[in-house]
Amino acid sequence: MASTKASTIYDVAKVAGVSHQTVSRLLRGYAGIREETRARVLDAIKQLDYHPNITARNLRNGSTGMIALAIPDLRQPYFAELAQSVISAARDAGLTVFVETTDGNPERELAVLGGTQSQLVDGVLYIPKSIDADILTAQNIEFPIVLLGDRILDSQFDHVTLPNLEGARAAVQHLISLGRTQVAFIGAEPDTDFGAAALRLRGYRNALESAGIAYRHDLVIFDSEWERHSGASSMRALLDSGVPFDAVFCCNDALAIGALRTLLSAGLKVPGDVAIAGFDDTEDARFSFPSLTSVAPGRDELARAAVGLLQRRIEEGGARGAREEIVSGYSLAIRESTVGAA
């Protein structure tokens, strides 16, 4: 650490009566060292409480064992939980993570890619929010990067994403199976055919279709913020529109929590009057009242896959293999907001 003078391999070497190189070799598991010498060096290491200086090693080796995690905002539970999973997965992989929050701000999202600290890390795990594929491609990125999360667009980059379509379809099918026929959708995004919103909307339509229910524009609410407050206003808008509905699928749990709040404060019963389901299975979904039915992507699995993929790319060095796309599995956590007593 900065404030104390730590011992170096030279100190160890001096104590052990060998050259620094012998120490270095031993540390890196080099075979040709006599048993007696090895013992002396190990002894010196213990005696001096020597720890290799990572910075020096990094400088020499050119790699740091650190990855950056670019994430919009830890205040949102979905991101916080994802970050936690990534950090754990990275630790298991022997990497340390360096969290860079972007606020979903395009400028800051870009800054991460060119920023000062990008040289400190071996690669970047990127959870984009407002940046789209074209901008990203135009950046001419020449280091390992893996995109992660729901808002992944078709791009040249490796990415790890959620079963958007399938998950949404399963949730909506569940709502329909309860006898609901007027299922609203909150969280559509205008003007995109790609991305999580579009895929989840497609899953919703798929489910309607297979149940023989006609798709209706007036049940689809646009909302590209996907936060609690926007979910609350979107639901307000839906209620104000006067269009009758008996269920809602929200693109994520934050929207659902906000929508749920609006429903309850409007005096409606959930799930009596309106059943509601979300996506992400964040922890707050389990403790709302009624608790929230939600699509649960394998978050840890996702994080592990992303870290693993990034690590492979780092090891590959320049030689880039074909782009990879990993999609996690999912399950549907059914709770009170769809099958409650109320």
Q: Is 75 in the site for a second copy (CB under 8 A)?
A: yes
Among 3, 4, 36, 191, binds DNA (CB under 7 A): 36
Instruction: Specify which residues 293 forms β-bridges with.
Output: 277
Per-residue b or e along 287-298, where b marks 16 or more CB atoms closer than 10 Å to that residue's CB: ebebbbbbbbbb
Site string for a second copy, 250-269 (x = CB under 8 A): -------xx-xx--xx----
Q: Which amino acid, one-letter code, is at 205?
A: R
Q: Is 334 in the site for a second copy (CB under 8 A)?
A: no
Helix axes 253-265, 228-241, angle to 10 degrees: 50
Question: 278 and 285 in contact (C-beta within 8 Å)?
Answer: yes
Question: 129 and 78 in contact (C-beta within 8 Å)?
Answer: no
# of chain residues touching DNA (CB under 7 A): 30
Residue (87 or 238) nearer to a second copy, CB: 87
- Tell me how long the chain is: 342
Residue (105 or 181) nearer to a second copy, CB: 105
Q: Is 60 in the site for DNA (CB under 7 A)?
A: yes
Phi, psi for 287 (deg, rounded to 5) = -115, 5
d(C-alpha 138, C-alpha 232), whole Å: 36
Q: Is 140 in the site for a second copy (CB under 8 A)?
A: no
Near a second copy by CB under 8 A, which window of 39-47, 94-102, 154-162, 239-247?
Answer: 94-102
Starting at the edge strand found earlier in the chain, the sheet holding 158-161 runs 96-101, 66-71, 123-126, 145-148, 158-161, 325-327
Give the H/E segment covering residue 255. Answer: helix 253-265
The end-to-end CA distance of the chain, in Å, is 58
Among 17, 43, 51, 154, binds a second copy (CB under 8 A): 51
| H helix and E strand count, the chain | 14, 12
Question: 246 and 252 in contact (C-beta within 8 Å)?
Answer: no
Site string for DNA, 221-260 (x = CB under 7 A): ----------------------------------------
# of chain residues touching a second copy (CB under 8 A): 62
- 261, interface contact from DNA, a second copy, none, CB < 5-8 Å by kind: a second copy
Contact residues toward DNA (CB under 7 A) are 5-6, 8-10, 17-22, 24-25, 27-28, 31-34, 36-37, 51-53, 56-57, 59-62
Q: What is the binding site for a second copy (CB under 8 A)? A: 1-4, 6, 51, 53-56, 58-59, 62-64, 66, 73-75, 77, 80-81, 83-84, 87-88, 96-101, 116-123, 142-144, 228-229, 232, 257-258, 260-261, 264-265, 283-284, 286-289, 291, 314, 317-318
